Amino acid sequence: MDDRRGLLIILSSPSGAGKSTLARRLRDWDHDIVFSVSATTRAPRAGEVDGQDYHFLTEAGFKAEVARGAMLEHAHVFGNFYGSPEGPVRAAIEAGRDVLFDIDWQGAQQIRNSSLGQHTLSIFLLPPSIAELHRRLVSRGQDAEDTIARRMQKSWDEISHWDGYDFVLVNDDLDATEEKLKTILTATRLRRSQQPGLTAHVRALQAEFEGQ
């Protein structure tokens, strides 16, 4: 019996803690892990495809989806709404595929409180030190110092919510952290709630036992 229900994998971290790299490695390790495609009210950028990069909605359409409970989580960011539609996520996990979410602690909390909350696995990545986090942001060479300072403040805001996650890993070694993530995921896939065929199997055992 190898059928299973997929997981909603929430991977959160402050900017610069290695989340994007580790998410990519997880997907390379297991192609049954898919990214959640978010819905947004912002306009598509050049080359973006509706349903592939984002589900592009009008503001009225987005609010209607929220009102009918069709968003697992949502937020208003820099003048636009963003959210995670429930329908595609439910279809994926019922098909045995894990859905990976790159969201902050507020989105993570909403998903844990949603109708799919029992199938959620949340993991937070901590940097080895604040100095190392700052070094990683600077080494990107993308932002001015004032922007980096704002990112550092936002990073600390994220870190302050570390205790709201199922697992917390200090990412001081990328390869070691990757192996820990794989171990966590492998074990969580075996939770009773993720094995829908167990009840039928136990009933079959009972029938066999009583038929002796």
Phi and psi (nearest 5°) for 50?
-65, 130
| Ranges assigned E (strand) in the chain | 8-12, 33-35, 39-40, 55-56, 71-77, 80-85, 98-101, 120-126, 167-170
**Any binding-site annotation on 16?**
yes
What span, in angstroms and rounded, lies between the C-alpha atoms of 81 and 78? Answer: 8
Query: Of 113, 103, 98, whose CA–CA distance to 184 is shortest?
Result: 98
**Any binding-site annotation on 20?**
yes
**Any binding-site annotation on 18?**
yes
Query: Of 99, 134, 131, whose CA–CA distance to 15 is shortest?
Result: 134
The tokens 């704002």 sit on which residue? 150
**Any binding-site annotation on 19?**
yes
- CA torsion sign for 46, 77, 106, 151 is positive
What span, in angstroms and rounded, lies between the C-alpha atoms of 153 and 163? Answer: 18
**Any binding-site annotation on 13?**
yes
**Any binding-site annotation on 17?**
yes
Q: Which residues are annotated as a binding site for ATP?
A: 13-20
Q: Which residues are annotated as a binding site?
A: 13-20
